[in-house]
Amino acid sequence: MLGAAYGEGMFEFMKSQREYILVALCDGIAIPMEEVPNSIFSHKKMGEGIAFVPKGKQFVAPAAGTVKCIPENLQTIGMTLENGLGIVIHFGLDSVMLKADDICIYCKEGQKVVEGEVLIELKGDGKPQLEGEWFVPVAIIKHEDFGEFQFILEGEMEAGVTEVVKYSRQGKNYIKELSNT
C-alpha cells in the first residue's frame, strides 16, 4: 500500500543503498580529527576524517582502490576508492622530517590495491624521531555522493581488520545511476 502511495522506485532506492567501511590503516588508537594538533586537520580544512596514533611499522590500504598520488617527499598518499570516494593519508604532522631512507614504500601511482594491502612500512623501530606523539590523519575528499560518515573510535585498532569508518552511497549522481538501471 505504501509502495503505491510513494512509488515503487523509492523503496528500490532505499534497498539499493550500500554500506561501506574503511578499516584501520595501522595498529594503534584512532582519534577524532578535531583532536589532531594542527589546524588544517582539526578544523577539517582538508575534509572530514579520522586520525591514528600509530603503534606499528606498517600502514595498509583502508579499502580497495587506486593509488593516485605519492609526492616525492612521501608525506602523503592520495587514493580513489573503488566506490569513488577520495582519501588522503598524511603520514604525520612532522613527516617532512621522515627521510626516504626511513620508509619502504610498496605502492606506486596508478596501482590498484586491496583492503589491508601494505602501502608503506617504517624501517628501524617503526617510530620516526619526533618530539611528542605521532599522528597520521586520513582526510575524506570527493565525498559529495556519500552519506553521513560514522567514525568508530573505540579501543586499540588492528591494521586492516578493525572497522573505523562506516558510510553509504547517496547523492544526486547515485540517484541518477539508479534511475538509469
pLDDT, position 29: 94
CATH number, domain with residue 28: 2.70.70.10
Q: What is the pTM of this model?
A: 0.81
H/E stretch holding 49 reads strand 49-54
The alpha carbon dihedral of 88, 135, 46, 20 has a sign of positive
Confidence of residue 132 (pLDDT cuts 50, 70, 90): low
Confidence of residue 15 (pLDDT cuts 50, 70, 90): very low
CA 128 to CA 77: how far, in whole Å? 18
Which DSSP category does 101 fall into? G
Higher-pLDDT residue of 93 and 134 is: 134
Domain count within the chain: 1
Choose the weakest-confidence range: 53-62, 70-79, 92-101, 119-128. Answer: 92-101
H/E stretch holding 28 reads strand 28-32
The whole-chain average pLDDT of the chain stands at 82
Higher-pLDDT residue of 93 and 21 is: 21
Domain that residue 60 falls in: 2-179
Q: What is the mean pLDDT of residues 153-169?
A: 94
Q: Which residues of 41-71 are buried (b: 16+ CB within 10 A; e: fewer)?
A: beeeebbbbbbbbbebbbbbbbbebebeebe
CA 9 to CA 6: how far, in whole Å? 8
Percentage of the chain lying above the pLDDT 90 cut:
54
